[in-house]
Amino acid sequence: MDILSQEEIRDAFVNCSRSEAAELPMPPGLHEVDWSRREYLGWRDPRTAQRGFIVIPTENGPVGIVLRASDASMRSNAPSMCGWCQDVQLTHDVYLYVAKRAGQAGRNGDTVGTMLCGGFECCENVRRPPSPSIVGFDAEAVVADRIAGLAERARRFAATVVGARI
């Protein structure tokens, strides 16, 4: 994804008020982010464990989304698969993250949910080398497919939150 400044990140948020966007904590280590290896940017709220933020690049510019992890999914020890990176190695907690939809729909209580890596590790997960136990396939192509799949699923989620046709 393209480099974003703090200002651009704040401006990108679609499902919170302007004053909430002005207050939200910025991603830690923003100046160290390797944007070329990111299909989306995600971080947790250091003050509220359940709250997370993601910024997804779309054709219409970056879309920022405030997420809330469901209590039940944070307590559950049952293994779940992330719906975006589809990491099958289950090395991280996966939570059900829920987003208020943008605009009137969100104010009416309309939400969208997705199973997502608890600490937003998807971009690292998709770049892990495929298991060497599976022989006879092109590891680079597998990683490229995973990256494309992650970018597409993130983009679709952003479109659903914004309310665009997909």
User: Which lies closer to Zn ion via its Cβ, residue 13 or residue 84?
Assistant: 84
Tell whether residue 117 is a contact of Zn ion (CB under 5 A): yes
User: Which lies closer to Zn ion via its Cβ, residue 80 or residue 103?
Assistant: 80
Tell whether residue 85 is a contact of Zn ion (CB under 5 A): yes
Region 6-25 residues binding Zn ion, contact defined as CB under 5 A? none
d(CA 64, CA 40) in angstroms, rounded, equals 10
Tell whether residue 82 is a contact of Zn ion (CB under 5 A): yes
* Cα 33 off chain centre by: 15
User: Which lies closer to Zn ion via its Cβ, residue 68 or residue 146?
Assistant: 146
Choices 10-18, 57-65, 83-91, 152-160 (CB under 5 A): range interacting with Zn ion: 83-91
- The CB-of-123 to Zn ion minimum distance in angstroms stands at 8
Angle at 25 between CA 24 and CA 30, to 5 degrees: 130
- The CB-of-87 to Zn ion minimum distance in angstroms stands at 5
Q: Which are the contacts of 128, defined by CB distance < 8 A and separation ≥ 6?
A: 89
The 3-class secondary structure across 84-134, one letter per residue, is: CCCCCCCCCCEEEEEEECCHHHHHCCCEEEEEEECCCCHHHHHCCCCCCCC
Binding footprint of Zn ion on the chain (CB under 5 A) = 82, 84-85, 117, 122
